[in-house]
Structure 1
Amino acid sequence: MKRILKIIILIIIGIVLSLGVGTYIFYKNIHVPASNEKNTSTVSRNESQNKEQAIERKNILFVGSDENNLSDTIFVINYDAVNKKINILSIPRDTYYPRPGFNAPEEKKINAAFSEGKIEGLEKAVEDLLGIKIDNYVILNYEGFKKIIDTIGGVEIDVPFNMKYDDNSANPPLHIDLKKGRQVLDGEKAIQFVRYRHGYVDGDLGRIKAQHQFLEAFLKKMLQPSILPKVPSLAITVSQYLKTDLTASEITQYAYQFIKDKPSTINAMALPGEGRYEGNTSYFFVDNIKVQEIVKELFSDEVSTSNTSTTSFAENKNIKVEVLNGAGIPGLATKYAEVLKNEGFDVVKIGNVIGMTFTSSHVYARTDEERAEKVAKTLFITNVENDISPDANVDVTVILGKDKE
């Protein structure tokens, strides 16, 4: 849904800009930091063209939230204007993300970082998880999503099977009742479609695939000429229900570029991994090695300088690391030791933790915290602790938990 929101804004503002209508409404109502806004009304045609040419590629975090401020849908998207591509990475809300001081089972899911730490907490969680920098955010609640779909006259979707689910304990209660077959979904039915996940064999990943399907159908609908007369109403709806730290001028700039270029490629992927139970709680455990490959493919131009893709191979050779298997899974330490070696780190020891099993992975700084952070970023481990010792034979100790299975 995050992805949906962004494109809604891009298309809306782009069309509004090109037609010369509705821009005033957007500028007047959009929830953006006023102190950062520039007066675009005086920007000349040449200045606009220069901005267009200098459009910056950013990683934008999209959150679809319910009435209780819970993040039900999480996307990271960037628009590659140079190659005319849209890159989307969906993050399951049950993704295992332990945080120091939060020990309850539900608190170890990434969506808890939003409900407890708000957008700043979720931004940090996603940055830690992916090793990228989040530049901006967009938040849309369910009511806004429904009104947007109703405003454009619904979206045509082929519902793959009968979807029936009721949760009276939810606030508000969730009731889903969709019949199999191709049909036009209004706002209420569209939110049911993108939220449904209990009938998919692969759980939340199945829902993510359905959301990608909905996105494609939504984009097709948004590019139809029949949408043009609805632009003013659509702009008002978006401005009322959307929160973002993007300025109106930034949104307009990206929108214009989007409409002008008409991107032909959408790379929509889900975070790699698998869902399984830890005790009585269902988590989605990330495949950290595959994540690195996807991050390089989708966000290579945006990977933060702390990520190993931009860390010099020569510097890593001076960092001595020991990798210990704390999960009791055969070959686990060797597997991740190879990842470190491929990035230039000097792995001086591979072994096992005796007498204790770790659920989550940890990185310990034995000589220098900065070196430990580099190793943690390479392996996408969020738990970094200091264990400085003048007698240490290594710079960093890695203990792999079951989350690295």
Structure 2
Amino acid sequence: MDDMRGPSHPGGSARVHPALRALAILICLSVAAVAAFGGYKYYTLRPMYHFQTVPVVNGPPEVPSQASFNVLLVGSDQRPGDAAGHSDSLLLVHVDLRDTRFNVLSIPRDTRVYMDGHGYTKLTSVQYVAQAELGKIPGIERAVAAVEKLTGVNVNYYAVTNYWGLQSLVDAVGGIEMNVPFDVRLTHPWYPEDRGKVIRKGLHTLDGKMVTEVVHERDSLPQGDFSRQKLQEEALKGIARALLRPSGIVHLPEFIQRLPDFLIATNMSNDDILSLALAARSVDLDTQVHYYQVEGESHSLYDDILGQRNDQFVPNLEQLHQVTKAHFATGTE
């Protein structure tokens, strides 16, 4: 149940980072929405007007007192036709409309959590077990509830994707410029010919194949998963810049055509996406998007669902709650 399954691929199989794809898709949706935006909608979809009341995934709608809300991006390993999937990557995005600021918290998939009726397990397993028991959407909502309990803040919207398409998404915008903050040696590449290849620290122009290879790497990085999260951040910036540049508009039709294959589930309406696009249309990726990581330690602990010990990430809850209270609270928790 807790096996890590990547997509079948002619060059081999490997685990990709669907949360990276999730945020890329959200950016794609926003840019596409702006391109199709009609003037008559402007008044009703102005972000400060549209998001006056927002849903709470596991509660009644709320009026955000700080003009902000949270979106949980979930990358699932669910294959087409499967009834359930693991939450393989999770990004909590806080949208602050007043200051036009986006805060992003990367939550490790192996975080130790308590699942009612089952006991202690990894966060990644909550979605799988709940979907197997309750169905697709209730299972996703159960995983969202686990994130809410862990972080102490409400989740207003969610978007779930699977493994497919990071390579094709990057290629659809003609490749990206990506800052690689440290040397990356490919130890478990998708393509055998890339094994052992080193991407040196610095700015690189990369196609979809190489972006996928770089953000998949973990073992050769100075801080393991935390360094991989940094690579995801840099790839996201590269994808966003490629989409927002004038020439990126040429690639939008191909993006739009592919989107339904990647978005498994969301509670965001088309108007929600249009309004979010208006909020993000002039964001400076270097000064208005801020990334946070969860501190903690890994330990071998008993997993009540699997009935055996495995490696679990035990977060520093005091530090986590300080971060979420300061940067992810909507004022209604």
* TM, length-normalised to structure 1: 0.60
The aligned counterpart of 2:89 is 73
1:92 deviation in Å? 0.5
Q: Is the 8 Å Cα contact of residues 137 and 245 (structure 1) preserved in structure 2?
A: yes
In 1: Cα distance, 2:273 partner to 2:329 partner: 22
Change (3 A) 1:3 1:85: farther
Pairwise CA RMSD of aligned residues? Answer: 3.0
1:247 deviation in Å? 0.6
Q: Check if 1:47 corresponds to 2:61.
A: no
1:290 deviation in Å? 0.7
The aligned counterpart of 1:282 is 311
Q: Check if 1:84 corresponds to 2:93.
A: no
AA partner of residue 102 (structure 1): H
In 1: Cα distance, 2:76 partner to 2:222 partner: 24
Change (3 A) 1:298 1:178: farther
In 2: Cα distance, 1:44 partner to 1:120 partner: 30
Q: Check if 1:221 corresponds to 2:245.
A: no
AA partner of residue 245 (structure 1): N
* TM, length-normalised to structure 2: 0.72
Gaps of 5+ in 2: 1-17, 53-67, 80-84, 131-138, 303-308
Of all paired residues, the percent bearing the same amino acid is: 22
Q: Secondary structure at the match of 2:231?
A: helix
The aligned counterpart of 1:179 is 198
Residues matched between the structures, number: 274
1:162 deviation in Å? 0.9
The aligned counterpart of 2:288 is 265
1:213 deviation in Å? 2.3
Change (3 A) 1:42 1:85: closer
The aligned counterpart of 1:5 is 22
In 2: Cα distance, 1:47 partner to 1:216 partner: 29
Change (3 A) 1:177 1:122: farther
The aligned counterpart of 2:322 is 293
In 1: Cα distance, 2:222 partner to 2:141 partner: 33
Q: Is the 8 Å Cα contact of residues 154 and 329 (structure 2) preserved in structure 1?
A: no
Change (3 A) 1:234 1:177: farther
Q: Is the 8 Å Cα contact of residues 67 and 141 (structure 1) preserved in structure 2?
A: yes
- Partner residue of 1:233 out of 245, 254, 260: 254
- Partner residue of 2:142 out of 109, 118, 121: 121
Q: Secondary structure at the match of 2:108?
A: coil
Q: Secondary structure at the match of 1:165?
A: coil
AA partner of residue 146 (structure 2): A
For the pair shown, the structure with the greater C-alpha radius of gyration is: 1
1:176 deviation in Å? 6.5
Q: Is the 8 Å Cα contact of residues 95 and 101 (structure 2) preserved in structure 1?
A: yes
Gaps of 5+ in 1: 24-40, 168-172, 305-405
In 2: Cα distance, 1:99 partner to 1:44 partner: 43
Change (3 A) 1:292 1:113: same
Q: Is the 8 Å Cα contact of residues 110 and 122 (structure 2) preserved in structure 1?
A: yes
The aligned counterpart of 2:159 is 138
Q: Is the 8 Å Cα contact of residues 215 and 231 (structure 2) preserved in structure 1?
A: yes
Change (3 A) 1:45 1:183: closer
In 1: Cα distance, 2:144 partner to 2:112 partner: 15
- Partner residue of 2:278 out of 246, 256, 262: 256
Q: Check if 1:64 corresponds to 2:75.
A: yes
Q: Is the 8 Å Cα contact of residues 155 and 184 (structure 1) preserved in structure 2?
A: yes
AA partner of residue 270 (structure 1): Q
In 1: Cα distance, 2:215 partner to 2:89 partner: 9
In 1: Cα distance, 2:184 partner to 2:41 partner: 53
Q: Is the 8 Å Cα contact of residues 178 and 189 (structure 1) preserved in structure 2?
A: no
1:207 deviation in Å? 1.7
In 1: Cα distance, 2:34 partner to 2:105 partner: 29
